[in-house]
Amino acid sequence: MTRNKVEICGVDTAKLPVLSNAEMRELFVQLQQHDDRASREKLVNGNLRLVLSVIQRFNNRGEYVDDLFQVGCIGLMKAIDNFDLSQNVRFSTYAVPMIIGEIRRYLRDNNPIRVSRSLRDIAYKALQVRDQLTNQNSREPTVQEISAVMNVPKEDIVFALDAIQDPVSLFEPIYHDGGDPIYVMDQISDERNADASWIEEIALREALHKLNEREKMILSMRFFEGKTQMEVAEEIGISQAQVSRLEKTAIQQMQKHVKTIT
């Protein structure tokens, strides 16, 4: 079967090479020990499919694919230059966040929502410090640690980072395990629902009694305590996808019960 030819920035994506883990490691050794430009070029070309997979996440932004591909390649090259073989981490695990970060910075710079230069400067400096501390400590730094390095109040850093975030639809899927997708709105806690009067207001006491203990616990944590699905999953020791399915099943059961008594 003939593969369709798709060109991005003059690159025939159907002919992109794929490197094995052994080949990748050998090329990184050559690059880091001898500053071998040929090895670096092979690493770039051998990971362009990784860039292609990442830019698919940004297809709904209305940006030219060629532009996103070029920006993603910059992130890929930065990842290649900074990758540490001694950390025992797959290159793709290390590179994907850097490629995504480079694309997001590009999108922020071209964002129609205007943010003051002082806020942008603080935010971009914070992102640079975050990357430096992550490489240095092999973990994501806290806001307090970034604040200490920059000598800027942590509140200012949080405000600046929030200001440069791209608007996201509440119905944008962020995870899919082959079943029901999990949307952004599933990850947002609602403090208004922390009020104990929530049950009385929607008259669902009887319907709640029909649920099993786990379903009651999930609904209580999600809608009475305002916790996210991720927080619920961590607390009761199941996956986020399981929380999503149990939550939806419980709500459907309650809806059916309410319909029978109304």
47: domain CATH number?
Answer: 1.20.120.1810
How many folded domains does the chain comprise? 3
Q: Does residue 202 have a pLDDT over 80?
A: no
Q: Say whether both 116 and 20 belong to one domain.
A: no
Residues 257, 194: one domain? yes
Tell me what the mean pLDDT of segment 183-188 comes to.
59
| Pairing assessment for the beta strands 11-12 and 173-175 based on DSSP bridges | unpaired
- Provide the b/e sequence for 209-235 (b: ≥16 CB within 10 Å): eebeeebeebbebbbeebbbbebbbee
Determine the structural domain holding residue 248 and report its residue range: 173-261
Asked if 211 and 254 sit in the same domain, the reply is yes
Question: pLDDT by residue (tens digit) across 1-50?
Answer: 334 444 555 566 667 778 888 888 888 888 888 877 888 888 888 888 88
189 within 8 A of 226, measured Cβ to Cβ: yes
> Which pTM was predicted?
0.43
**Domain co-membership, 7 together with 101:** yes
pLDDT tens digits for range 224-257? 778 888 888 888 888 888 888 888 888 888 777 6
- Whether 29 and 75 share a structural domain: yes
Q: Kindly tell me the burial class for residue 33, based on how many C-beta atoms sit within 10 Å of its own C-beta (0-12, 13-18, 19 or more).
A: exposed
Same domain, 91 and 18: yes
| 6 and 100 assigned to the same domain | yes
Q: What would the two tokens of residue 58 be?
A: 């940004």
Structure tokens at 25: 């490691």
Residues 144 and 220 placed together within one structural domain of the fold: no
Whether 46 contacts 24, CB under 8 Å: yes
